[in-house]
A and B are shown apart, each in its own frame.
Chain A
């Protein structure tokens, strides 16, 4: 049973380019979460999605960032016109159907390390 997969593992972009980060949740999981970890800092929640729906995007920057989780295929975190401050590790997590709020375990992927030159 494969875990959460993220690709690419490392991504280098120049300022102004677009970055697309992909996340395939664990089999049977319908909830996806994205977190960002800036260098030497803790993880910060960005967005929580279910299939075709954004449930909570309270941690997403208002501009340049967007996320989707289509009916088919992986979840995508898209960063337009990247700047150096976007350099960070981006982690995706997934969980199965929520049967009891606050209890479900989130399974994390290995992360994508974005470097903006």
Chain B
């Protein structure tokens, strides 16, 4: 599985935007970029995914570099509820590829009131 690199931790203030980076320099052309987050004492939660174009949903935006070697998860206005560990995960879209999620250490986001 292609690897991802994320900062161990980041800090933000409530109501401010947050940009969470992820490097994936060995990404292949068949890899989707997924983001999940895990709130304290809960199971992971899907956030967003993309392939080449930037993506928006009700939770966040995903900005993907033109060469796809990096991406950024954007929370437009952080709330206290967004404090979590955020995981950037590559998933192979090749037919018959494994459907498992390979979690790294993620970025622990702290949101200050």
Do B98 and A103 touch (CB < 8 A)? no
Chain B interface residue count: which class? 20 to 34
A92-104 toward B: CB 8 Å interface, digit per residue (1/0)? 0101001011111
Decide if A85 is an interface residue (CB 8 Å cutoff). no
Please report the C-alpha to C-alpha distance between residue A91 and residue B30 in the assembled complex, in whole angstroms: 27
Given contacts A101-B95, A102-B92, A103-B93, contact A45 B101 (CB under 8 A): yes
Interface-side segment among B13-21, B44-52, B67-75, B76-84: B44-52
Do B100 and A45 touch (CB < 8 A)? yes
Q: How far apart are A107's CB and chain B's nearest CB, in angstroms? A: 7
Do B46 and A105 touch (CB < 8 A)? yes
Do B93 and A111 touch (CB < 8 A)? no
Please report the C-alpha to C-alpha distance between residue A105 and residue B34 in the assembled complex, in whole angstroms: 9
Give chain B's interface residues, CB within 8 Å of chain A.
30-32, 38, 42-46, 49, 87, 91-106
Please report the C-alpha to C-alpha distance between residue A33 and residue B101 in the assembled complex, in whole angstroms: 9
Do B100 and A108 touch (CB < 8 A)? no
Do B43 and A100 touch (CB < 8 A)? no
Please report the C-alpha to C-alpha distance between residue A58 and residue B100 in the assembled complex, in whole angstroms: 10
Q: How far apart are A49's CB and chain B's nearest CB, in angstroms? A: 11
Interface size on A, residues (CB 8 A): 29
Do B99 and A108 touch (CB < 8 A)? no
Given contacts A102-B31, A108-B45, A110-B43, contact A95 B93 (CB under 8 A): no
A38-59 toward B: CB 8 Å interface, digit per residue (1/0)? 0000111100100000011011
Please report the C-alpha to C-alpha distance between residue A12 and residue B38 in the assembled complex, in whole angstroms: 24
List 22 A-B pairs, Cβ < 8 Å.
Answer: A33-B100, A42-B87, A42-B103, A42-B104, A44-B103, A58-B100, A91-B44, A93-B101, A95-B99, A100-B93, A101-B92, A102-B92, A102-B97, A102-B99, A103-B49, A103-B93, A104-B99, A105-B46, A106-B46, A108-B44, A110-B42, A111-B42
Given contacts A45-B101, A102-B30, contact A107 B46 (CB under 8 A): yes
Q: How far apart are A4's CB and chain B's nearest CB, in angstroms? A: 8
